[in-house]
Chain A
Amino acid sequence: MEHFLLEKNRLNEFLSALRNYEVFAPVRKVGLTVFELITNPKEAMLDLKNQPQSPKRVIFPQSEILLVFDKNNAAKEPKGRVGQKPQVVFGVRPCDARGFHMLDPVFEREYPDPYYLQKRQSTLLVGFHCSEPYPNCFCTSVGGNPSSPEGLDILLTDLGEQYFLEVITSKGEQVAKEGAAVLSSPTSQQQTEKEKLSGMAPQKIRRTIDTEGIASKIEKHFDHSLWRELSGKCISCGICTYTCPTCHCFDIQDERVRGRANRLRIWDSCMFPEYTLHASGHNPRPTRTERLKNRMYHKFKQNIDLYGVPGCVGCGRCITLCPENVDLVANLKVIKNL
């Protein structure tokens, strides 16, 4: 596909040109970077640091109302969901973009999910080449790459004064057309510079693990006493699952507020005891051990069986944000060495 050059100081103009889209971009809020709908391009904060959340929530929100009803009115879809404007998510890290690749089969295979798919199809992902990986990044160990265009529609690479803009898909081409006024053609020197940066990126990833054979080890040692050791410090909170770009478990609940009721879909977390609690009171995963084991089993065994890839993009959030330092990479190494 085509290559362009975007002067950094014209980025705002480029974003403004996308008036047919709702633009989501990282915004700085009290020390955090969060993806939010922006109305003014100046709000965008293109520093990818400290993103406790992936842009997963733009397409798969934490809580989403599916139906509204009350005692006088039959259930109907909430206003505003149908006929949305197409969306652009700006400033996506390549690992997070791969995350959507792992969510897609879940929501489109056996039971196509209209809520997810509609938004997914109308959303375009503009990624940033990840030139400074974070201490706990391990994307290269799970098939990713800090400069990977996989899952993205457009990939930007920071060349200092300019962004090198690669169009990856036809959806991306459309956006490039809308912003064509501020784009120029790169020189061959800039092309080489970009390729050099892409080549250097993987070497900057400092945490690695060879995942070969882990799936069978997890299966084989499913009842090993070591799981208990690994889960000893876990406090059963939902941080790892709620910040994960590939976790997708949800619950459907009917909620009543002031005489109205909503049927909604909300994220659930396999780390909560409630997650597997049966109506009878029996809980097949009663302790932290079973729950932590389940999460690793799902990501590194079951997901491979179902979709051929591990359910992990190596973004390192669950390691960085875990309050008690449950370290996924270290745990995988323990399992591998069993």
Chain B
Amino acid sequence: MPDQTQSAPLLSVSGLTVSFKTERGTASAINGVDFDLKRGEVLCLLGESGSGKSVTLRALMRLLPERRSRIAGKVLLNGEDVYAVPERRMEKLRGKAISMVFQEPMLALDPVYTIGHQIAETIVRHEGIAFADAERRALDLLERVQIPSAKRRLKAYPHEMSGGMRQRAMIALALSCNPALLLADEPTTALDATVQMQILLLLRQLQAELDMAVILVTHDIGVAAETADRVAVMYAGRFVELGTARQVLKDPQHPYTAGLLASTVHGNMRGHALEAIPGAPPDLTNLPSGCAYAPRCPHADAHCTAAPPSETWLEPGRMARCVRARVPAAAPV
């Protein structure tokens, strides 16, 4: 791992591939993902829908349906091989060492149990304390995620809360056993713009307070810029670019990253026209043999369609998967 800077990373992913059996054939959702994550580090996965961000998160927790998916590669969490330990052990890790905030809390919370019950249940599961004590902890957690009149909300059902409040409750649930790694799957997509910012600020604040590592999936470049230490851009199930948030967003090396930046509204773009990336994401059941982005890339040539480009490490921790990435300093746009 060229970007390995410390001795023992919290999470180490190598050669991760995931494919699903579908009616139309085998869909290759993840096609080789490698990265390390340090304790307390925030990594943003950036990309369009269908680029494999959410699947990556679920693969890290071994949540994908085992019958319909083929998973290869290695996921080491705290040195434990996620795909080698028995399911029993995995259940103990989920929610405790690694936990997840889902995109749509209305769908991810059980509609017929109260918020308090759902949080307390998790604590009882992992710490074996009495339910009443766990409920008291749940109250602390709700206060910690700044839910107003938390005591009353403990007894509330998901449908009785607003979207922002539900997502706060979901975060409280995910944090209930002090996970070392929090996976957040587009946690603000389902929320109003004003609430989005509050939730992000909350996540960042909690991340710093608890010194958690976070993998945040988003398609919002602004979110990535605000929160991430490092950014990984995903396309067709691969990391096409990796680096610090500043490196990737200020000096994109992959044409796809550049296209994403040009097509999104973010800081200092007043006066510039928005550009759209032409075409559509590739069909995962029938990926092109060369670079998956080549059909949409303005710079594509014969090299690109010949074979998938390999990782080019520009400096430690800075990678782009593009044949043009060698060219130093020249911005590809």
Q: Do A and B come from one complex?
A: no
Residues of chain B having any CB pair with chain A under 8 Å: none
